[in-house]
Amino acid sequence: MTWSFRIAQIAGINIRVHVTFFLILALGAIQWGGQGGGLDGALFGVVLMLLLFTCVTLHELGHSIVANRLGVPVREIVLLPLGGVAVMNKQPEKPIHEFLISIAGPLVNVVIALLLAIPVGAQVRMSLLDGRGLLPETVNDPSLNTLLFWLFSANISLVVFNLIPAFPLDGGRILRSLLALAIGYPRATRIAIAIGQTIAIGLGVFGVLSGNLVLALIAVFIFFGAGQEVMSGRAQLSRGIFDTRKIGDAYNKHALTLAMGDKVSAVVDFILTSYQPDFVVLQGAKPIGIVTRDDVIRSLAKLDYDAFVTEVMKREMVSLDADKSLDEARTLLHEQGARVALVMRSGEYLGLVSLEDIQEAMAVLTFVQYRDKRKTAPAG
Ligand code: ZN
């Protein structure tokens, strides 16, 4: 994800922070620093937000560590102002795995809340004994007690919010996985999406009527998140054909190739006349590098047309066996962080395939499958 940078690596997972995250820190500082809070208040606000996001990170790590254990590699965790996202290369295959991965996040916050309940409980008991009411009056002052109390409430909120049974929240995934155990993924996904969007509409109406704009915004976020899930739900439906269709059916068989002695000017000509974005550089029949359109554009800023393609090509290449399925090929490219790969069959170079080629093939196959389903399946 662009506009984000790495701050740590825990259990082999990169933790990245999105730049907009600093807005939240600033917001914390303003909220606690204003109204006479001063510099101490502002610092308190920043520390509070940092601790809150530590809890969010631990939540995402909960998902990630369980996912890694179950063979679903997590590439990175990105911290955004709205919370965290654990970026997975693929979806868990078994419902029980999805259930365990989804529930692990909220469980982390339950544990944190339980740990915080000890000092917070003592604090509440003290104020009850003093006759000061259920909550200490000082709950808005920057103090350790306030810090603990806010973190306790925040973790409870994180659990409650994430367990709302609506995509893309954890609760939606938990609901889908439990349904999938009984009725399989395609129907479970459809039902879970319908339930989630109904809840989102309910929350939205309630938010608008009660003048709670934050709630209304969250409802919009859930509603459209569910829409995205419809897309990946479609991917679930189509997984079958992507597993059986081979990469050997999706690569460009008529791709233009470059030789070692070719110059950058030849690639520019190719790009202008062929719409082909990537080119392999061959030494005889053996691929020795890949030149992409971006490489060429970047190199023209520094080198001239007379430079050799061997100066701008990438020598590290991902190879895919032509018998790999579209799904495997896509996963491999994602894992390697590559956009384009060599298609090989028993050591012989066949052509290039890019993520866009694979996505295009998948889109076409999905469409064909849908059309066939509509023709053969009974209504409903
Ligand atoms: Zn979660």
CA 41 / ligand 1 centre spacing (Å): 30
Same domain, 128 and 168: no
Is a pLDDT exceeding 70 seen at residue 134?
no
- Do 182 and 322 belong to one domain? no
Q: Which of 163, 196, 211 is the last residue of a domain?
A: 163
Secondary-structure breakdown of the chain: helix, strand, coil percentages, each rounded to the nearest 5: 60, 15, 20
Residue 301: is its pLDDT beyond 70?
A: yes
173 and 227 housed in the same domain: yes
Give the largest Cα separation in the chain, rounded. Answer: 89
30 and 154 part of one domain: yes
Q: Is residue 313 part of a domain?
A: yes
Domain match, 154 and 185 both: no
Same domain, yes or no: 29 and 159: yes
Q: Is residue 335 part of a domain?
A: yes
Determine, yes or no, domain membership for 8. yes
Residues 125 and 61 in one domain: yes
Ligand 1 center to 12 CA (angstroms)? 19
Domain assignment of residue 374, yes or no: no
Asked if residue 378 has pLDDT above 80, the reply is no
Q: Is residue 60 part of a domain?
A: yes
Using the mean position of ligand 1's atoms as its centre, give its distance from the Cα of residue 30 in Å: 28
Residue with tokens 């590439």: 75
155 CA distance to ligand 1 middle (Å): 12
Question: Residue 254: what pLDDT?
Answer: 75
Considering only residues 47 and 303, tell me which one the structure prediction assigns the higher pLDDT: 47
Q: Domain with 260 in it: what CATH number?
A: 3.10.580.10
Percent of the chain whose pLDDT exceeds 70:
87
169 with 54, same domain?
A: no
Q: Which of 244, 273, 291 is the last residue of a domain?
A: 244
Q: How far is the CA of 47 from the centre of ligand 1 (A)?
A: 22
* CA 88 / ligand 1 centre spacing (Å): 13
| Over residues 157-177, mean pLDDT | 90
Ligand 1 center–CA 54 separation, angstroms: 14
How many structural domains are present in the chain? Answer: 3
Cα of 174 from ligand 1 centre, angstroms: 10
Question: Does one domain contain both 12 and 145?
Answer: yes
The DSSP output letter for 324 is S
Identify the weakest region by mean pLDDT among 154-158, 203-207, 274-278. Answer: 274-278
Residue 310 lies in a domain: yes
Task: Check whether 335 has a pLDDT greater than 60.
Answer: yes
Distance 210 CA to ligand 1 centre (A): 27
Provide mean pLDDT across the span 11-31: 85
Q: Distance, CA 370 to ligand 1 centroid (Å)?
A: 32
Average of per-residue pLDDT values in the chain: 81
**The pLDDT value given to residue 110:** 96
pLDDT band at 377 (very low <50, low <70, confident <90, very high): very low
Q: Distance from the CA of 153 to the center of ligand 1, in angstroms?
A: 17
Mean local confidence (pLDDT), 63-80: 87
158 alpha carbon – ligand 1 mean position (Å)? 9
Distance of CA 330 from the midpoint of ligand 1 (Å):
25
- Tell me the mean pLDDT in the region 310-314: 86
Q: What is the mean pLDDT of the segment spanning 99-117?
A: 94
Distance (Å) from CA 97 to ligand 1 centroid = 14
d(CA 222, CA 176): 15
Q: Which domain holds residue 125?
A: 1-163
User: Rounded to the nearest whole angstrom, what is the distance from the C-alpha of residue 365 to the centroid of ligand 1?
Assistant: 32
Last residue of a domain, one of 134, 163, 192: 163
56 contact partners, CB below 8 Å, separation of at least 6 = 79, 83, 84, 158
Question: What is the tens place of the pLDDT at every residue in 221-231?
Answer: 888 776 666 55
Based on the domain organization, do 27 and 139 belong to the same domain?
yes
Same-domain status, 158 and 101: yes
Give the Å distance between the CA of 337 and the centre of ligand 1.
24
**Could you tell me if residue 207 is inside a domain?**
yes
- Give residue 234 CA to ligand 1 midpoint distance, Å: 22
The Cα–Cα gap between 303 and 305 comes to: 7
More confident: 59 or 241: 59
Select from 155, 92, 145, 142 the least CA-distant residue to 121.
145
Instruction: Specify the 3-state DSSP secondary structure of 287.
Output: strand
Q: What is the CA(313)–ligand 1 centre distance, in A?
A: 41
Measured between alpha carbons, how far apart are the two ends of the chain, in Å?
39
Per-residue pLDDT tens over the stretch 249-289: 777 777 788 888 888 888 888 887 777 788 889 888 889 99
- pLDDT given for residue 160 in this prediction: 92
Residue 376 lies in a domain: no
pLDDT attached to residue 202: 92
17, 73 contact by CB (below 8 A) = no
Same domain, 111 and 77: yes
Cβ within 8 Å of residue 148, ≥6 positions away: 116, 119, 120, 123
